[in-house]
Chains A and B, each alone.
Chain A
Amino acid sequence: MAKLIPVPDDLSKPFWDAINEKRLVVQNCTGCNTMQYPPRAACQHCGSDKFEWKETSGKGHILSFFVTYDGRYQRRIPDQPYNVAIVTLDEDPGINFYANLGGQPPRQVPVGAAVEVVFEEVAPGQLIHDWKVVS
């Protein structure tokens, strides 16, 4: 699978550095103790700009999905059809992630099932986080 390659910026570099060490972290607001993903400059809940990076359990559940048959990203066209799922994080289900659930046949997505984070190299030295169904 040739996935698009994320380009870290000032805000996201610590996140992607952690991913490259196979750790899934999210922002945690030191003002109100609320988790935030994707990272933002300010806390959506209280407006604070003070965060720590908090390591997650890497465990989640599948909320919903669709299957891309005719997508717009040129780099992914050879992979079609493929699943695109939404995974909620167990410690805060208000946090969600996209997932391709490698290994699940298209349309065969067990909504509600438990998943765990996996890491996949999309370019030399650049990992991304994806998810797999826990059997």
Chain B
Amino acid sequence: MTTEYTGWTRNKEGLGLWPHQGKVAIVGWGQSDVDRRWDGVSMDKTYGAYGMKAIQQALDDAGVKAEDVDGMFVCPETGAGATGGASADWGPSRPYFEPPYDSEWGLSRLNAKWIIDNMPGFTNVKFAPDNVPAIGEQMGMVSQAVAEGKCQTALLVYGMNNFEGRYRHGGDNASDFAPGPRQWSAPWSSGDGLQLTGAITIQQYCARYGVNWDELMAPVIINEHRNGLMHDWGFYSLHGASGLTYEDYANARPVLWPCRIWDCDRPTNGVGAFLFTTGDRAKDMKQKPVYVLNHNGGQGGSVRSSQETLDESEAGRAMVARMAYEGSGLRPEDVDIFNPYDGYSFFLPLTLEGFGWHGVGKGDSKDFFNGDISVEGPHPFTSGGGNLGVGRTRTAMYIDSIQQLRGTAGKRQVNIKAETAICAFAPARSAAYMCLSSVKP
């Protein structure tokens, strides 16, 4: 059953419309509770238990039985990654439990085998690749597999785990040495990767466009917290609202100043699941189908030297936007719902301006964010609340887009038309945007 699956990524310009429009739809979603960490005691709140809960919800949402699922795409990574240290891996510092919690599987990681072994009914899974990427490209992988007939009804499972211990302070980040690509940054810098890249770029942005960081970021972050509370499963919905105000934000503890704690998504423990099927089968399912118009992966543009510059950030965002528009056939003015990735707040202005949603151009984000971006208003930006609004699940962008297009977003349901959506887990210059439509192309 284990299968490698490659060659599915749409990672450059010039590919034209996605040739499978209308052949793939999202028909179900599920999301476990979102906790700050697993407590090491509550066996009904483990990563594995939460995975099974999310999967059951996705099946029930679609009205599909486990027996009907023939494709399973489970990202096997631990949420905090290789530098996660004790927050990412249960072992080796802590003892394992009775089966099925006698290894990392089910505690810090999930794969198709663990799910099939521990959840009844998955007797017909024929296609379950091991090399499943994080949710941004995972969405594209599943879409392409269903389009190509690798499977007919496919489950996507993606979680982010978090245990006691400081997030990403382990692995290479605990070393005194900087080998490989790190020799060019680690001797001078702190934040690794995106944290560093993005904070520098937005500092440059503020200088170029004459924008104050607080005035740029506070309104959009506060609005995301408001939107996030309108999910019943988010971290702040379950564990208490942040009550974040402009003053709280401006006075919050700096991480990479001027980036504060509220600019960074809160690591959490939880799992999401999504059910995909063919356009034909989707017609007979419980929910209004949400059709895939396009998916992309890879990166927009390149970086010439040590540090990505603002020009490179802007060019990369413009390129990934062109890829999304080319593949979907949408124009900026056709996009109703826009849920880009916000794992660091500072991705939002650059992505918004790159996509030109609601006519926002370079340097315009501060004025846009300080206008009416509420879900009730004319410009409901990040109506899902993003990672900042619900915790670091990387699922809110997709769940909200599905709900908005179905018309089931409840208090978050926008008042503007909601027939098309662009949503993503696409850090920095990632091209992993999904384009969706409630109308069959």
A interface residues with partner B (beta carbon < 8 Å): 2-9, 12, 37-38, 44, 63-76, 80-82, 84, 86, 94-100, 106-107, 111, 122, 128, 130
Contacts and interface: CB of A to CB of B under 8 A. Distances in A.
Given A96-B307, A99-B188, A6 B256 contact: no
9 contacts: A64-B207, A66-B259, A70-B255, A71-B190, A73-B192, A94-B305, A97-B188, A111-B207, A128-B187
Contacts of B178: 4-7
B204 interface: yes
Contacts of A84: 188-190, 196, 200, 256
Interface of B: 83, 168-169, 173-192, 195-196, 199-200, 203-204, 207, 253-259, 302, 304-307, 309
A74 B174 contact: yes
A6 B255 CA distance: 24
Contacts of B200: 64-66, 84, 86
Ranked nearest first, the 3 interchain pairs of A and B with the lowest CB-CB distance are A71-B190, A68-B190, A98-B188
A75 B188 contact: no
Contact of B180 (A9, A76, A122): A9
A129 B217 CA distance: 34
A66 B199 contact: yes
B169 A72 contact: yes
Nearest to A71: B190
A94 B178 CA distance: 24
A103 B179 CA distance: 27
Given A5-B178, A64-B203, A122 B305 contact: no
Contacts of A74: 169, 173-174
B260 to A, nearest CB: 9
A66 B187 contact: no
A48 to B, nearest CB: 16
A2 B309 CA distance: 27
Given A5-B177, A44-B302, A98-B184, 12 more contacts: A3-B188, A8-B183, A37-B306, A38-B181, A64-B207, A66-B256, A67-B256, A69-B253, A71-B256, A72-B83, A81-B257, A84-B190
Instruction: Name the residue in B181, B207, B304 with the highest tally of chain A Cβ atoms < 10 Å from its Cβ.
Output: B304
A8 B182 CA distance: 11
Contacts, number: 135
A119 B195 CA distance: 26
Contacts of A86: 200, 306-307
Contact of B257 (A67, A95, A99, A128): A67
Contact of A66 (B179, B181, B203, B304): B203
B183 A69 contact: no
A124 to B, nearest CB: 13
Instruction: Name the residue in B175, B189, B192, B253 with the highest tally of chain A Cβ atoms < 10 Å from its Cβ.
Output: B189
A41 to B, nearest CB: 13
Contact of A38 (B176, B302, B306): B306
Nearest to A111: B207
A71 to B, nearest CB: 3
Contacts of B207: 64, 111
B312 to A, nearest CB: 10
Contacts of A6: 177-179, 183, 186-187
A72 B257 contact: no
B153 to A, nearest CB: 41
Nearest to B182: A4
Contacts of B173: 72-74
B256 A69 contact: yes
A98 B255 contact: no
Instruction: Name the residue in A2, A5, A8, A68 with the highest tally of chain B Cβ atoms < 10 Å from its Cβ.
Output: A68
Nearest to B171: A72
A99 B184 CA distance: 11
A9 B179 contact: yes
A44 B312 CA distance: 14
Contacts of B83: 72
B179 to A, nearest CB: 4
Contacts of B169: 72, 74
A107 B259 CA distance: 13
